[in-house]
Amino acid sequence: MPLYEYDCDGCKKHLEVIQKFSDAALVTCPECGGSLSKRLSLTSFQLKGSGWYATDYKKSTTSSDKGSTSTEASPAKTSKD
């Protein structure tokens, strides 16, 4: 569940509240009853582990489609006359 931050306009306190996404935003301060405003803050969310890069989802090449997707140059044919 995400952590939301609020500032009270009355007592100037800073609140940090863990709420569900579906919960309504707080509007009154539990300390003084003043109005709250939601703060925008940086997140500490990090993507760790495999599966977060485009290369992790890439299909592996098989021997049948190596020729069509390979970036290597094919060897030049030489004729002996």
How is 59-78 classified by DSSP, letter by letter? PPPPTTTHHHH--SPPPPP-
User: Both tokens of residue 36?
Assistant: 């709250």
According to the model, what pLDDT value does residue 50 have? 67
According to the model, what pLDDT value does residue 14 have? 92
Whole-angstrom Cα distance, residue 11 to residue 77?
A: 83
The CATH architecture annotation of domain 1-41 reads Single Sheet (2.20)
Say which residue the tokens 């301060």 belong to: 29
Whole-angstrom Cα distance, residue 5 to residue 17?
A: 6
Averaged pLDDT, groups of 10, the chain, 81 residues long:
88 91 90 90 72 62 55 55 52
According to the model, what pLDDT value does residue 54 have? 62
Whole-angstrom Cα distance, residue 54 to residue 72?
A: 22
